[in-house]
C-alpha cells in the first residue's frame, strides 16, 4: 500500500524547516520498516493472533490495517463534520455559527479543548500532573489564522452515533480482550482533529500516572488507546511514538529532550496510517505530535481500554475525571457504554456478528432513546490511571 508521507512544500517551520523535513522523512522510513503493521488476525480458536500481541508488546504500538469499511468511514466523516458545525462559533461561546446551542451545551463535563494555531499549550507546564515537561517548537501561524481552533472533543460517544458504533466494533473489542483480558474496561473516548496549517502540537509525554511504582508494573498496566484514522495520518500531522519506551518505567522526558537539544527525539517514529487503519498505542509509551504545518487534515477517533485489575479499587482521576476510588459498581456503570456501542452497531450493521462483552452479558443494555439520555456527561466517569 502506498502512503502519503507529507507535503514537504507546505512545511513552514522557519529556521527549523529543513531539519524537520529531514526528520519526517527519516522517521517515516524507520516506521515503515518495522514489523508492527497488518490486518486484524485471530487464531482458529478466536484469540488475538500471537504475532500481533508480541509485536505490540515489544514496540508499544501496532497499526491494524483496513479495519474500518468505506461505509463506516463515511459515517464517521459525516458525524465529525456535524460536531464541528455544532461547535461554539468561538472559544467560550454558547452558540454555534448558526446561533444554535453549541455542542456540549448543558453538559457538566469538560468536552471541548481549543488551541492557538500551531502552538504547544501544554509543554513545560504543570497541566495534567506536569506530564508534558518539555516545550515543542511553535511555528508562526499563517496570516489570517483564527485566534483559536477546536482540537479535541471529549466524551465523544454522546455526540456521535458513528463513534458509538465504532466503539462496538467486534474485531476491536476482540483485540481489547486479547490484550487486557475478557473483563477489560473503558478508559475514555475522544475525537482529535489536527487542522491543516493550524493544528497545535502535543508535547512528548507518557499518559500513565498511578502505577509507576507498583511491583506488578508490566507492559500493559496502564492500558492503551485505539486510534482510528478517518483520513489517514503521516509524519507531518500524525502521532509519533518512541518504540519500546513503554517498558522503561517513568522516563525523564525533559532530560531526554535537553540531551538532544531539540524536540526531535532521534529514535521516535510517526504512526503512518491509511484511512480506515486503527493504531494501538500503549499509554506508557512516550508519544507526542508536532504542529501540523502541512495541508493534510488528521481526524482520529480515540477509544481507550484498561485491564479491570488495573482500576479495581484504585484511587485514580485528577486528569480525565475527578479523583475517586474506582469501585466495581463504578467500573461496571462506566462499562455500560461498551454494551450501548455493541447494540447500536448491531442496528446499523445487522449482518455482522456482534461482540459478546462478558462482564455485562446479562445486564440487558439496549441502544434506544432513554440510553441517549443516560449517556449525557458519561465521561465524568472516565477511568483515568
What is the pLDDT at residue 129? 86
pLDDT digits (tens, 9 = 90+) for 265-291: 999 999 999 999 999 999 999 999 999
Q: Is the pLDDT higher at 129 or at 56?
A: 56
Please compute the mean of the pLDDT values over residues 27-46 and round it to a whole number: 98
Please compute the mean of the pLDDT values over residues 325-347 and round it to a whole number: 98
Angle at 353 between CA 349 and CA 358, to 5 degrees: 120
Contact of 311 with 218, CB cutoff 8 Å? no
Q: For 113-126, give the DSSP string.
A: EEE-TT--SSTTS-
Contact of 128 with 70, CB cutoff 8 Å? no
- Helix, strand, or coil (residue 128): helix
Compute the distance between CA of residue 293 and CA of residue 16 in angstroms, rounded to an integer.
12
User: Would you say residue 21 has pLDDT above 80?
Assistant: yes
The CATH topology of domain 11-381 is Jelly Rolls (2.60.120)
User: Phi first, then psi: what are they for 382, rounded to 5°?
Assistant: -55, 155
- The rounded mean pLDDT for the chain is 95
User: Would you say residue 9 has pLDDT above 60?
Assistant: no
What is the pLDDT at residue 12? 79
Compute the distance between CA of residue 347 and CA of residue 135 in angstroms, rounded to an integer.
46
Q: Cα 153 to the chain's mean position, in Å? A: 11
- pTM here? 0.96
Compute the distance between CA of residue 10 and CA of residue 21 in angstroms, rounded to an integer.
10
Nearest-CA neighbor of 236 among 281, 282, 205, 197?
Answer: 197
Residue 342 pLDDT grade (very low, low, confident, very high; cuts 50, 70, 90): very high
Contact of 314 with 209, CB cutoff 8 Å? no
The dihedral sign for the CA sequence 161, 167, 171, 174: negative
Contact of 189 with 105, CB cutoff 8 Å? no
- Within 10 angstroms of residue 215's Cβ, the number of other Cβ atoms is 5
The torsion defined by the Cα of 208, 214, 219 and 222, in degrees rounded to 10, comes to: -30
Contacts of 351 (CB under 8 A, 6+ apart): none
What is the pLDDT at residue 173? 98
User: Would you say residue 156 has pLDDT above 50?
Assistant: yes
pLDDT digits (tens, 9 = 90+) for 71-101: 999 999 999 999 999 999 999 999 999 999 9
Q: For 128-172, give the DSSP string.
A: HHH---SPPP-PPPPTT--S-EEEEEESGGGT-HHHHHHHT-HHH
Strand partners, 384: none
User: Would you say residue 111 has pLDDT above 50?
Assistant: yes
Compute the distance between CA of residue 377 and CA of residue 164 in angstroms, rounded to an integer.
14
Amino acid at each position: 500500500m502506498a502512503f502519503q508521507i507529507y507535503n514537504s512544500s507546505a512545511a513552514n517551520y522557519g529556521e527549523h524547516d529543513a531539519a524537520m523535513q529531514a526528520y519526517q522523512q527519516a522517521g517515516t522510513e524507520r516506521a515503515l520498516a518495522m514489523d508492527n503493521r497488518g490486518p486484524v488476525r485471530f487464531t482458529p480458536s478466536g484469540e488475538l493472533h500471537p504475532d500481533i500481541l508480541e509485536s505490540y508488546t515489544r514496540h508499544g504500538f501496532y497499526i491494524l490495517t483496513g479495519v474500518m469499511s468505506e461505509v463506516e468511514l463515511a459515517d464517521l466523516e459525516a458525524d465529525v463534520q456535524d460536531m464541528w458545525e455544532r461547535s461554539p462559533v468561538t472559544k467560550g461561546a454558547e452558540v454555534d455559527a448558526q446561533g444554535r446551542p453549541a455542542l456540549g451545551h448543558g453538559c457538566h463535563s469538560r468536552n471541548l479543548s481549543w488551541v492557538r494555531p500551531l502552538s504547544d499549550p501544554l509543554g513545560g507546564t504543570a497541566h495534567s500532573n506536569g506530564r508534558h515537561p518539555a516545550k515543542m517548537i511553535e511555528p508562526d501561524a499563517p496570516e489570517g489564522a483564527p485566534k483559536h481552533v477546536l482540537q479535541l472533543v471529549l466524551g465523544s460517544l454522546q455526540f456521535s452515533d458513528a463513534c458509538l458504533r465504532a466503539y462496538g466494533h467486534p474485531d476491536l473489542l476482540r483485540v481489547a480482550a486479547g490484550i487486557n483480558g475478557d473483563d477489560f474496561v473503558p478508559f475514555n473516548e475522544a475525537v482529535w482533529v489536527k487542522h491543516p496549517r493550524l493544528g497545535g502540537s502535543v508535547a512528548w509525554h507518557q499518559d500513565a500516572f498511578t502505577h509507576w511504582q507498583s511491583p506488578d508494573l508490566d507492559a500493559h498496566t496502564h492500558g492503551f488507546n485505539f486510534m482510528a484514522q478517518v483520513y489517514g495520518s503521516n509524519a507531518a500531522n500524525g502521532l509519533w511514538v518512541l518504540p519500546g519506551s513503554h517498558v522503561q518505567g517513568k522516563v525523564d522526558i525533559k532530560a531526554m529532550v535537553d540531551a538532544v537539544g531539540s524536540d526531535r527525539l532521534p529514535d521516535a517514529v510517526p504512526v503512518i496510517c491509511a484511512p480506515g487503519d486503527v493504531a494501538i498505542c500503549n499509554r506508557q509509551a512516550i508519544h507526542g505530535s508536532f504542529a501540523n504545518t502541512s495541508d493534510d487534515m488528521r481526524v482520529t477517533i480515540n477509544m481507550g481500554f484498561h485491564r479491570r485489575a488495573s482500576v479495581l479499587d484504585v484511587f485514580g482521576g485528577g486528569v480525565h475525571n475527578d479523583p475517586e476510588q474506582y469501585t466495581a459498581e463504578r467500573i461496571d456503570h462506566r462499562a455500560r457504554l461498551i454494551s450501548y456501542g455493541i447494540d447500536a452497531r448491531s442496528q446499523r450493521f445487522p449482518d455482522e456478528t456482534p461482540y459478546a462483552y462478558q462482564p455485562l452479558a446479562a445486564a440487558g443494555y439496549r441502544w434506544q432513546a432513554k440510553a441517549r439520555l443516560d449517556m449525557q456527561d458519561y465521561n465524568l466517569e472516565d477511568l483515568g490511571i
